Structure 1
Amino acid sequence: MRHTVVVNARAGTVLEAGADVFSARLAAAFAARGSAAEVKLVSPRELDDALALAIETSDAVPVIAGGDGTINRVLPVLIQAARPVGILPMGTVNVLGRDLGLYGSLEQQVAALCAGEPVAMDVGRVNDRLFHSLSGLGFFSLMAREREQARRRIPFSRVAAFGLAAARSILFTRPISVDIRIGEEHLVVDADAVLITVNRFDGAEWRRGELDGGVFEVHILNAGGLYSRSKAALSVVSGRWRSSGNLTSVVGDEVVLQRRDKRRGHVTFDGEVERKAGPLTYSLLPRAIRVIAARPTSS
């Protein structure tokens, strides 16, 4: 078995360990599973070209290593890929990695990847922008921006940076007035946050039971100030968020969002933040990419 692993050289895991140390550890992890791995550390702007080259020119299994934002960046390449691509999650949250059964130490993730099998998954599209798991306004876009700033302030600890970002986001989120259409349903709400997920998440760890369910779920955190946001955050941590009185969830296969003030606002796509104006039209690309997931544990 052979793998070609394209790594985001700016990923926190790489920066913490050092490029040479990380590359050697990654190659050793694959070798322990009987695979000769070629490790390619590239800058974020070179990721898509490097991954496309690995997919097209090598008979080795192509792998992309990075956080949710890295996977988001290469989605156009994954959609066009003629074969499944492995993913090694190396971010702070790793939403997609957990859904694929890839977690634990780097060695555990490599072992799961080497024993994995291809799965097809849905991808979301917002106007001309793709995302694989989550897109959000309000609290969620502020959280993504605060997390980037916190990582620069506290580069030695991703956990501490995440905690600081969460605290500041709870304190400083401002409500937004949003016009929402979900299929035939029309809502006008004042919300602290709106989150759109590709398929349904559940539980304290926000896992998806299926990646190709063909639906969006829209979560609306009602505007209620600091106390409401704090309660909502606690309910997420405890796993009781679906029973939270401050949260409304609606399922549909197409969603249109419009800020009622018509301003350009921050929108997050798998942790990456952009400013967007005008109606945001969410549509699904069913089973658009194939990635390698860990095999379920035998009972």
Structure 2
Amino acid sequence: MAKLSDPLPELETPAPTRCFRVIANARAGTVLEAGADTFARRIEAAFEAAGCRAEVELVPPRQLRERLQAAAADEATIPVIAGGDGTINGALPVLIGCQRPVGVLPLGTINVLGRDLGLTGTVEQQIAALCQGEPVAMDLGSVDGRLFHSVSGMGFFSLMARQREYARRRFPFSRLVAFLFAAIRSILFTRPIRIEMEIAGERRLVEADAVLVTVNQFDGAEWRRTCLDGGEFEIHILDTGGPLSRAKAAFSMLTGGWRNSRHLVSLTGTAVTLTRRDKRRGHVTFDGEVERRASPFAYRLLPGALRVIAARSQET
């Protein structure tokens, strides 16, 4: 029996429950397929199952920044933006102004950033990974103040993004059908572009079907970045050669053999300037969002500009 004079055993203080505030794009495909109320309940239940709490707001795209700013101002919670790569892209001006790590919940078709952060699988699996995740620093890209987190491109890639939006409206019942429709039309209707490139003070004139600028390098066969703060761009140039070469290049990207494609040339640099020689204005994609802009496009790197929660360490 313990004596009154014996010291009391120290009790472990339980770790505080992580609280999240999720701002979701109400027009995201995952939300539309499930229905707004059903989706919100699913998200809240998934956070509770993972030992966390979450407040979910489903808002139209035009209100995302405003509601995300309100979430960022609430220091008792971790702000999370839920949507595809384009939705996350639009939220970057708010996210980089946040004084603490932020979260993303990928709900798009491709989810480049979500994969890079280790947030894959079902929504429940992604949320479990988010609750157990740790913050990492990641670089961002900028073109005259226009931010992007993963990829920016022109030529075939910008046409593919435009065709994909059109296909989504025409084939809302199947993402696969919409993707194949967009890919085929892009392969058939892409026209070569002449671009003057400047990388590390070296100028070169290229004629290409597409140019893609990525923040840090994609590793191996998969379109995945294991390092998000490598401090460099990777520039991919798809040589011209007509529909057949574009089809082969597109197939190699889908099958993982794109690094060995003879139609693709990749370069690296900390800054790159692209100037279109064929027209004054052209379509450019930023994480799948398409804009029409006049060149030159001066790509600049913002090292470690964003701290975001990842399901893996930066060294993995």
The TM-score, its normalising length taken from structure 2, stands at: 0.92
Aligned equivalents of 2:53, 2:147: Cα separation in 1: 33
- Aligned match of 1:190: 207
Question: Is the CA contact (8 Å cut-off) linking 1:194 and 1:220 kept in structure 2?
Answer: yes
Aligned equivalents of 1:17, 1:118: Cα separation in 2: 30
Tell whether 2:170 aligns with 1:156.
no
- Aligned match of 2:188: 171
Aligned equivalents of 1:168, 1:202: Cα separation in 2: 28
Give aligned pairs, total: 297
- Which of 211, 219, 228 lines up with 1:202 in the alignment? 219
- Which of 53, 57, 72 lines up with 1:36 in the alignment? 53
Aligned equivalents of 1:49, 1:119: Cα separation in 2: 25
Question: Is the CA contact (8 Å cut-off) linking 2:40 and 2:56 kept in structure 1?
Answer: yes
- Which of 235, 238, 247 lines up with 1:230 in the alignment? 247
Aligned equivalents of 1:139, 1:202: Cα separation in 2: 22
- Aligned match of 2:292: 275
- Aligned match of 2:230: 213
- Aligned match of 1:139: 156
SS at match of 1:6: strand
Tell whether 2:98 aligns with 1:98.
no
Deviates more, 1:132-141 or 1:239-248: 239-248
* Cα distance, 1:265 vs structure 2: 0.3
List structure 1 runs of 4+ shifted beyond 6 angstroms. Answer: none
- Aligned match of 2:259: 242
Is there any run of 5+ residues in structure 1 with no aligned partner, and where? none
- Which of 109, 113, 131 lines up with 2:126 in the alignment? 109
Aligned equivalents of 2:93, 2:268: Cα separation in 1: 26
* Cα distance, 1:113 vs structure 2: 0.4
SS at match of 1:5: strand
* Cα distance, 1:185 vs structure 2: 2.2
Tell whether 2:21 aligns with 1:21.
no
What letter corresponds to residue 5 of structure 1 in structure 2? V
Aligned equivalents of 1:183, 1:174: Cα separation in 2: 28
Question: Is the CA contact (8 Å cut-off) linking 2:221 and 2:259 kept in structure 1?
Answer: no
Aligned equivalents of 1:216, 1:272: Cα separation in 2: 19
Aligned equivalents of 1:162, 1:37: Cα separation in 2: 33
Is there any run of 5+ residues in structure 2 with no aligned partner, and where? 1-16
SS at match of 2:119: coil
Aligned equivalents of 2:243, 2:88: Cα separation in 1: 33
Aligned equivalents of 1:159, 1:78: Cα separation in 2: 31
**Which digits, 9 at most, give the CA deviation of each residue in 1:11-55, with x for residues without a partner?**
110011110111111111111012221100111111111111111
CA RMSD of aligned residues (A): 1.2
Q: Identity rate of aligned residues, in percent? A: 65
